[in-house]
Structure 1
Amino acid sequence: MSTENKAQDPMEFMRGMWSKMGFSLPGMVTPTLDVEELDKRIADMKAVENWLKMNLSSLQMATQALEMQRATIATMQAMSKIVSEGGKPPEVEVPQPNPFGNTMWPWNLMQNAAEQAKAQADAAPAPAAPAKKPKESK
């Protein structure tokens, strides 16, 4: 390759920049025209991606477990403090968060409809029971 072609080749320019920094160009950046080599690199990258996702999930689960443990211990400590002071725990209504978000709307709708139907049935006068016919003797 002539010096003129080297200056125009972007990959040669990148190799020159990387080599001046004291380390070689990483294998990921080196282009290849071999489809099998590209398939191998893609498979390797996907394996690493899946491994990282698995580790992220494990980390998130461990964090949640520690948060639950902390909340449990804090609750137990608060309860033991109240008991040791001889008092009753305050009757405070703590709103519970909805863990399902807005996904439970069909259930709530059905529950409200059932409650309304029951209220309407209770408010309506009861239908008169049919009079019993006396049994005929044989």
Structure 2
Amino acid sequence: MSADFNPSDPFAFLRQFWPQGGSPMQPFMPPLSEEEIERKIGELRVIENWLTMSMGMLSMQIKALEMQKAAMAALKPRDDAPPR
């Protein structure tokens, strides 16, 4: 971290990308060719699909555990139930 880090300034990290003084701003990333952009889009789509699949599996796991919890609660004897 830089010596002038201030945790109360939420934009301190981003300010390091802006040049000091009046010089024109340099882009964060160098210009890319059309092929490079297409390749990066493809890579990001693969990552997006993997994350979507992972979220689906996580959601199914949560629902399975909720169903298991509900089944256990339904089978658990109640204290206020009349004796048979």
Q: TM-score, normalised by structure 2?
A: 0.63
Aligned positions of 1:29-40 closer than 5 A: 29-40=28-39
Q: Identity, % of aligned pairs?
A: 31
Task: Please state how far the C-alpha of 1:54 moved relative to its aligned partner.
Answer: 0.5
Partner of 1:26: none
Task: Please state how far the C-alpha of 1:31 moved relative to its aligned partner.
Answer: 3.6
Higher RCO structure (Cα 8 Å, ≥6 apart): 2
Deviations 1:54-97 (A, max 9, x none): 01000000000000000000000136x84xx624xxxxxxxxxx
Partner of 1:7: 23
SS of aligned partner of 1:11? coil
Query: Tell me, which stretches of 5 or more residues in structure 2 are unaligned?
Result: 1-21
Task: Please state how far the C-alpha of 1:11 moved relative to its aligned partner.
Answer: 1.7
Aligned positions of 1:35-74 closer than 5 A: 35-74=34-73
Q: TM-score, normalised by structure 1?
A: 0.40
How many residues of Structure 1 are paired with residues of Structure 2 in the alignment? 63
Q: Supply the distance in 2 between the matched residues of 1:69 and 1:50 (Cα, whole angstroms).
A: 29
Task: Please state how far the C-alpha of 1:30 moved relative to its aligned partner.
Answer: 1.2
Who wins on radius of gyration, i.e. which is larger?
Answer: 1
Q: Which structure's residues are more often helix, by fraction? A: 1
Show structure 1 runs of 4+ deviating over 2 A: none
Which letter does structure 2 place at the counterpart of 1:36? E
Partner of 2:12: none
Q: Supply the distance in 1 between the matched residues of 2:42 and 2:72 (Cα, whole angstroms).
A: 45
Q: Supply the distance in 1 between the matched residues of 2:33 and 2:54 (Cα, whole angstroms).
A: 32
Which letter does structure 1 place at the counterpart of 2:60? M
